[in-house]
Amino acid sequence: MIPEGATVIALGDSVYPLATPQYFASCYAPTWGRHLEHTLAVPGNHDYVNGRLTEFAKYFGEHTDPKGFSRGASAAGCSSASTGNQRGPRLTQQLAWLKETLGEQGSSAKCIAAFWHHALFSSGLHSGDGDPMRPAWQMLYDHHADVVLSGHEHLLRRFEQLNTRGWHDAEGIREFVVGPEALHYTDCIVRRCVRARDEPSMACLLWN
């Protein structure tokens, strides 16, 4: 299923309903866990247990970072921000890291992709949950980023290229919302700028 040399990007809430050792062992490890060495993971809100990322961080180890991480800056910048807990000092730290990372990449990256858990733009029931990431979107827009990947919603969406206000912009960023599963899937509103939509039982995006 996973092409040789590919990277798996886990967009948060990798196990459900909580990130416990039992769920990682029984659900994630036998499936996506087989590709752990090639995974980059950011936490979602369900990865925080009693306000902490202890088990999530223990399972993913070097494949996650609460501040953020980047890969392949010389060719395709891939930046993450950990947005399962989006308020206060953690968010400030992540935004500072993103600003520094984008500044270091400059114009050398042929493609810039960023990913975090809560989608800034969504047609699902959790529209608005990603509002704290608007400054991150503006930074990425200013650096001509290409793609933002998010999860949180239990659905699959591909949006038009969008500016920070959520309007179509030929110079904007294309957003994909890739929900981890549709366990509690409910109907959603089809908002403007949705280019493609799907209601799968499991959501996975293969990006070449």
Range from 49-53, 125-129, 171-175 that averages highest in pLDDT: 171-175
Band of the pLDDT at 37, cuts 50, 70, 90?
very high
What pLDDT score does 205 carry?
Answer: 67
Mean pLDDT of 148-160: 82
- Residue spans of the domains in the chain: they are 8-198
Question: Residue 193: which of 164, 165, 158 has the closest Cα?
Answer: 158
What pLDDT score does 155 carry?
Answer: 72
pLDDT averaged over the chain?
77
Alpha-carbon distance of 1 to 178, in angstroms, equals: 17
CATH superfamily to which 8-198 belongs: Metallo-dependent phosphatases (3.60.21.10)
In the predicted structure, residue 154 carries a pLDDT above the cut 50: yes
Question: Residue 134: which of 155, 163, 108, 93 has the closest Cα?
Answer: 163
Mean pLDDT of 107-134: 78
Q: What is the pLDDT of residues 54-68, one digit of tens each?
A: 999 999 998 887 667
Tokens 């089809």 -> residue: 190
Partners of 112 in beta bridges: 77
What pLDDT score does 58 carry?
Answer: 94
